[in-house]
Amino acid sequence: MLYVPVITPFGADGAVAWPALEALAHDLLTGGATGLVALGTTAEPASLTPGERRDVLDLLAAVCREHQAPLIVGANDPDQLRVLADRPAVRAALSLVPPFLRPGEEGVIAHLQDLAARSPVPLIVYHVPYRTAQPLTAAALHRLAATPAITGIKFAPGVIDPEVVAFLADPPADFTVLAGDDVLLSPLLALGAHGGILASAHLATSSYAALITAWQAGDLAVARPLGHRLAALSAALFAEPNPTVIKAVLHAEGRIPTPDVRLPLLPASTRTLERALGVREFATT
């Protein structure tokens, strides 16, 4: 399964480019994505107004309903979770391990279990320790997986270390592990991940979907070389802060009206864009 955390395109006037967002969402679902993620970090949600966040959610929910595709929504507190009730397209909330505070494993578990108890939809934990500064052991991840209302994890460990191997070597039953490190997608799939939530899949969506299918089918002749090529593409797309390079490439391809991002992000450099376009051509041939 492949979920794409959708960017928020902006027009020349700085406003959200709604037609481009709708067209992009349709393209991703027809291109091979299982579903979409609304208001993930790739969408720059902190820079959006409350009204913009509401309208992004409504638009992506409508597109997912049309395609009968699931929608995951970034939501990190009870107020953000509350608005997800009575929205049939929304299948889960993507909730980040608390960043910066470093509350320890017990604090993380208590916080996410409390959120899950309050949420109208199941939770997918977003674990990205190199951004949150809060590592979790395999034992802690298994405790979260045992919580009935927590049904999956966006797993972005940053490295393949013994805790990662231990967690994936003993996968929790009825629990979905979605790779969140785009560059590490192929090795995480090889270790047992079920799919991914991948910003890189704005580009070459069908290729990322094919890579997931190949690993699940045990087709190593396809999975290994394709995984190497797509890892190079993901590395190029994350050479500057996400989603700046992805937006630059989408704009260069005529899919969004500008490459603009909102502060504190700055647009990707021309050099990084040119490299990404070259790697994209190599990765998809």
Structural domain count, the chain: 1
pLDDT in tens, 226-241: 999 999 999 999 999 9
Q: Is residue 150 part of a domain?
A: yes
**Taking 80 as the threshold, does the pLDDT of residue 274 lie above it?**
yes
Q: Is 154 a catalytic residue?
A: yes
pLDDT in tens, 254-267: 999 999 999 999 99
pLDDT in tens, 111-161: 999 999 999 999 999 999 999 999 999 999 999 999 999 999 999 999 999
Q: Is residue 7 part of a domain?
A: yes
**Taking 90 as the threshold, does the pLDDT of residue 268 lie above it?**
yes
Q: Is residue 224 part of a domain?
A: no
Strands 150-155 and 176-179, how do they pair?
Answer: parallel
**Taking 70 as the threshold, does the pLDDT of residue 109 lie above it?**
yes
Q: Is residue 205 part of a domain?
A: yes
**Taking 80 as the threshold, does the pLDDT of residue 1 lie above it?**
yes
DSSP letters, 90-153, are EEEEEEEPPPSS--HHHHHHHHHHHHHHH-SS-EEEEE-HHHHS----HHHHHHHHTSTTEEEE
Residue 169's CB is within 10 A of a number of other CB atoms, namely 11
pLDDT for 282: 79
pLDDT in tens, 2-44: 999 999 999 999 999 999 999 999 999 999 999 999 999 999 9
Task: Please check whether residue 71 is in contact with residue 89, taking contact to mean a CB–CB distance below 8 angstroms.
Answer: yes
Q: Is residue 119 part of a domain?
A: yes
pLDDT in tens, 162-207: 999 999 999 899 999 999 999 999 999 999 999 999 999 999 999 9
- What domain range is 115 assigned to? 2-219
Q: Is residue 236 part of a domain?
A: no
pLDDT for 285: 62
pLDDT in tens, 58-100: 999 999 999 999 999 999 999 999 999 989 999 999 999 999 9
Whichever domain contains 66, its CATH number is: 3.20.20.70
Q: CA-CA distance, 18 to 244, in Å (whole number)?
A: 19
Q: Is residue 263 part of a domain?
A: no
Q: Which of 3, 130, 154, 208 is catalytic?
A: 154
Q: Is residue 77 part of a domain?
A: yes
